[in-house]
Structure 1
Amino acid sequence: MKKVIIIGASYAGLYAAKELSKNKNIEILLFDKNDYHYMQVEAYGFVATKYDTSEVTISINNFVQKLNSNITFYKKEIHSFDSKTNTITTIEKKTFNYDYLIIATGSLTNFPIQVPNIQKYSTGIKTLQRATQVNKMYLDILEKINMSSSDIEEYNIVIGGAGLSGVEIAAEMSTVFKNKNISKINISIVDGMNTVLPNMNERLVSECQKRLKELGIQIYLGSFIKDVDEKNIYLANDTQIKYDYFIFTGGIKAITIDSQKDYEVNKLNQYITDDYLHLKGEDNIFVVGDVAEVTYNNKYFAPTAQLAISAGHYVASYIQKEINNSQYNIMDTFKPKLKGTLISLGGNYAIGLLFNKYFAKGFFIHMLKHFVTKLHRNALS
């Protein structure tokens, strides 16, 4: 029986485990330092109190119990791996051997090193612990409002990053305040790029910017953050933004693992992979999800849950075919097939690009996004 070790209960890791578990001739060992999977794509609703913790987490133990008995979950953090001995080592220095290794460790918020104070004064949302801090801040504001007969004094929430997470959080928070007729809570978005949703379809960008303005969100674009102190954010164009709470969503930094060899990584700390998602230079080690650099036809694909799920399925199929000696059914290279983009912009309003071609907006897209999320939850619960 071949043994496959998966490091990381991310979207990619869990979907790979589920696919591999269908083959009873494969032993699967799944490792993660947490006993839950955090659905970070739903962070916008969690931090704005739309969802509670149970709605953005999935129990890994429950996930494993519903699969075949050939999978074992270890709540352990992995310290290193060794491709020469085909072993991984936990932080407690316990060693496990593998025939195949899948690295699916995900990513954390990428605080820019050129702004040394940004991590000190801001909060990310890439982990449940960090998102819970934002959730608590938001609940505290709402409680103060409910306890007072009049509006609370002016409060400024600034979100660094106008990508998916940034615009979704800003829109959801603003919608709640707008529905409560709260006028002195100011929400702003800051991004060094010249547009919201950088590098996305022009129709999504235009509609997103229109929606944010309708919600009264102040948008600062085209100038990067150069410094932060406990009350102000300073932009490179000398704009100064006052804040009471600073949420930073501006990019990711992949979580790599110590190893006996130095492996090539890109500027986001993502492992470089080949066309089959092998770790470069290794035949039995695969990298999937946020921790992998995925390119196709010389185009880089930004990390998304959709891409991670697709990669998890692909790698699991590749391993099974190789184990089964399917010499006449060799896997094609990994071809990212994205079905589109769905973006929640507060309340029951969302925008989307279906099959990367058809633009749509409104309640229907909101319901479609909710349906897709429910499908993934059911698949992992």
Structure 2
Amino acid sequence: MEKKKLFIIGAGYAGIRAVSHLSKCKDIELYLLDKNSYHYLQTDVYDYLTSQINLSDIAIDLYTYCASYNDAVTFLHEEVLRFDLEKKKIITTKNRYKYDYLIIASGAQTLLPDSIEGLKEHYHGIKSLENALLFKQKFEYFIYKKIESEGKCSLDANFNIVITGSGLSGVEIASEMANYSREFYKDTGYLCSGINITLINSHEKLLPSNSAFMQEEAEKRLNDLEINIIKNARVTKVMEDCVILNNSQKIDMNFLIWTAGITSSDLVLNMDAKKNKKGQLAVDEFFRLIDHKEVYAIGDNADMFDPASDTRLPPTAQTAELSADYVSQNILKEISDKKLQTKSIKLQGFFASLGGRFGCGEVMNILKFSGKKAYFLKKFIEKSYRYPLHQRCKKGLKKIKSLMN
């Protein structure tokens, strides 16, 4: 039997998970294609921004990772320009590829509404590794300038970080940055301080997609960290040194971190395919495109839902991995001429880091954790994901070196 050519577009959480499943099938010629040469661990970026982990902990090399699968996976470091869905072709900046099956897992990007004047010129984001690096450099340069001006801080005592979005990303980065700045000045004994953090929340509650328990724990912790929470407010204009809320309220700003919403990658936004209002690909109960059953969409660039209950799923790393599990199992069934099966996709729980060794979380809406216990459970989950990836990279590097000798 001739092997089926299967291309996975995007090496995010969904794409990497699909590789781990499909690489085991001897009837598949598997390709992973990404414009970046690394897998970016965005869920761990808050620890990197506050210097708790290194760059190597959030950027996994895809060459060595794929090499660890021997000849089962081919990594193509190329940017996809477009798809020809009728002819089953992928057009990149370098080549054209013919596929039998295609998995689109190109992820999401920060949603920057055109209606908000000045936003694109003055925001910082963390959805990409490059943006995270730039923000960390600028923030640490500010710390340096504050140290350099030791003894003269009263001339410029305040530095204002404004964070928009009260989901997991916004809450975690607000709490981690607040704790980091507080601990830095306390531990070093510098006179300088005055980092003010404001979280803009368009809702009444923080973490609006999570349970009341997590909402209450998050707000309590952010209040303890003296983070200024502004509720039921929307940014309507951004200038170099301030943001305007609801067309009237002015908030001074040195850094604006935007986490208020996502949309699909440009690749997906430019596709001639059915999408929802967020630009995510519309899929059937098997996560296939409506008009092209050989094309699957998983992760943040797809309109994810639980096939059993038809309830929408949040755009999280956990959802991305579960969707990859589901699609991989059905692709293997299809290649074996077996009937595809629907199953329920249920999230196991949520955990949030809330600055320092403090967090909150719950499992299956039954077990609830807060404080240090929740923090260590979240770190255990993160390390459990990261460690096997590093081990695979070491194995792949060993193989590449042996081929070079």
Shared fold, TM over 0.5? yes
Contact 1:105-1:256 at 8 Å conserved across structures: no
Whether 2:126 is the aligned partner of 1:114: answer no
Query: SS at the partner of 1:341?
Result: strand
Choose the corresponding residue for 2:330, options 318, 337, 362.
318
How far the C-alpha of 1:149 sits from its partner, in A, is: 3.7
Contact 2:178-2:227 at 8 Å conserved across structures: yes
Which stretch shows the higher mean deviation, 250-259 or 208-217? 250-259
Q: Using a 3 Å threshold, how does the CA distance of structure 1 residues 360 and 302 change in structure 2: closer, same or farther?
A: same
Contact 1:45-1:169 at 8 Å conserved across structures: no
Choose the corresponding residue for 2:229, options 209, 212, 219.
219
TM-score, normalised to structure 2, is 0.89
Query: SS at the partner of 1:270?
Result: coil
How far the C-alpha of 1:52 sits from its partner, in A, is: 2.3
Equivalent in the alignment of 2:378 = 369
Q: Using a 3 Å threshold, how does the CA distance of structure 1 residues 126 and 85 change in structure 2: closer, same or farther?
A: same
Matches within 5 A, 1:1-381: 1-92=3-94, 94-150=95-151, 151=153, 153-179=157-183, 180-181=185-186, 183-236=193-246, 238-257=248-267, 262-296=272-306, 297-326=309-338, 330-381=339-390
Q: Which runs of 5+ in 1 are unaligned?
A: none
Contact 1:156-1:242 at 8 Å conserved across structures: yes
Could you give the per-residue CA deviations for residues 228-279 of structure 1, whole angstroms, max 9, x where no partner exists?
1111111116221001111111111111536997211112110011111101
Query: SS at the partner of 2:293?
Result: coil
Greater fraction helix: 2
How far the C-alpha of 1:144 sits from its partner, in A, is: 2.9
Distance in 2, matches of 1:258 and 1:339, equals: 28
Distance in 2, matches of 1:336 and 1:113, equals: 34
How far the C-alpha of 1:53 sits from its partner, in A, is: 1.2
Q: Which runs of 5+ in 2 are unaligned?
A: 187-191, 391-405
Distance in 1, matches of 2:340 and 2:268, equals: 29
Q: Using a 3 Å threshold, how does the CA distance of structure 1 residues 261 and 103 change in structure 2: closer, same or farther?
A: closer
Distance in 2, matches of 1:17 and 1:298, equals: 26
Distance in 2, matches of 1:15 and 1:261, equals: 24
Count of residue pairs the alignment pairs up:
377
Contact 1:22-1:68 at 8 Å conserved across structures: no
Distance in 2, matches of 1:302 and 1:2, equals: 32
Query: SS at the partner of 1:300?
Result: coil
TM-score, normalised to structure 1, is 0.95
How far the C-alpha of 1:68 sits from its partner, in A, is: 3.6
**Partner amino acid for 1:56?**
I
How far the C-alpha of 1:50 sits from its partner, in A, is: 2.4
Give the aligned CA root-mean-square deviation in angstroms. Answer: 1.8
Distance in 2, matches of 1:373 and 1:259, equals: 31
Could you give the per-residue CA deviations for residues 283-337 of structure 1, whole angstroms, max 9, x where no partner exists?
11000010010123242111100010111122111111111122xxx34225222
Distance in 2, matches of 1:170 and 1:146, equals: 22
